[in-house]
Amino acid sequence: MSSDAFHTTRWTLVRHATGHSAEGRQALSELCAAYYEPVVAFLRSGRDTDAAREIAHEFFAHLLEKPNLGGAEPGRGRFRNYLLGALKHHLSHRREHDARQKRGGRAEIIPLDAGTDTSPGVDPGDPHTLPPDREFDRQWALHVLRRATDALADEWREAGKADEFSTLQPFIGGEAASGALTALAAARGESPATLRKTVSRMRQRFRQHMKSQLAPTLAESADVDDEMRALLAALSA
C-alpha cells in the first residue's frame, strides 16, 4: 500500500467534516460498522447479549446523528479511544434518564469527566466492577486480525492458491509447533529455506494488511506503528 493511503483517513475526514457533510457521515458510518463487535463486548458486562446489542444499536444511531455525543470531542489520535469515551457518556446519560423516570424527575446529576484521547472518561457504573475496557481493546484487536487475515486469504485465492494459504496460515503468526515447517517442506518436496521465504513474505503482507486496517482509524500516519504495538498489547493482556 502506498504511503499516500495514510494521509487522508476516515477518522481525519470525520474530524475535519463540517456540519453534516455526506463525506464525513459516510466515513463515520464505516468506522462505526467496524467497531460494532468491540462495543457489544463492552456492553455485555452485566447484560445478556440481546440487551447489549440493543444498546449498541441505540448508541450508534445517536452517534451518527450527533458525532460529539456527550461532549466526547474527537481527539487528534485514535478513533477507538473517542468511541469508548462516547460510549461511556451514552451509558451515563441512559442511567441519568432511568433515574429521573424512577424518581419523578428529581434525580441528582453527577458531573462527569468528558475524557480525552488517552483517557476516555469514567464510567460511573457498578462500583464493585471495573469497566471492561480491556475486553473492548481485545475484541478490537481480534477484529483487526480477522480483517487482515481475510484480506490476505483473498489475495491468495485470487492467485489460485487458496489451498496453499490454508496450509500455511498457521505459520503466519509463528504459532506452529517447532519443526512443523521443516516437516511441511519435506512433505511438499521443497527445501525448508524456500518455504521459510514464502512464509516470510506472507507475514510481511499480513503486517501490511493489519496497517491498512488500522490506518483509517487514526488521524496521523505516524501513529500506525504505535497502534500496532497497542494491538499486540491488547492480545497479550
**Among residues of the chain, what percentage have pLDDT more than 90?**
37
pLDDT of residue 17: 65
Nearest to 206 by CA among 162, 160, 156: 156
Nearest to 88 by CA among 53, 63, 107, 106: 63
Residue 148 scores a pLDDT above 90: yes
Helices (H) and strands (E) in the chain, counts: 10, 0
Q: Tell me the pLDDT band of 129, cut-offs 50, 70 and 90.
A: very low
pLDDT of residue 237: 66
Better-scored residue on pLDDT, 204 or 6: 204
Q: What is the rounded average pLDDT of the residues 111-117? A: 41
Are 116 and 177 in contact, with CB atoms under 8 Å apart?
Answer: no
Are 141 and 103 in contact, with CB atoms under 8 Å apart?
Answer: no
Q: Tell me the pLDDT band of 125, cut-offs 50, 70 and 90.
A: very low
pLDDT of residue 176: 62
- pLDDT tens per residue, range 55-108: 999 999 988 887 665 444 555 568 888 889 889 988 988 888 777 767 655 544
Residues 6+ apart with CB under 8 A from 19: none
Distance CA(187)–CA(223), nearest Å, equals 42
What is the overall mean pLDDT for the chain?
79
What values do phi and psi take at 218, rounded to 5? -120, 155
Q: Reduce the DSSP state of residue 119 to 3 states and report it.
A: coil
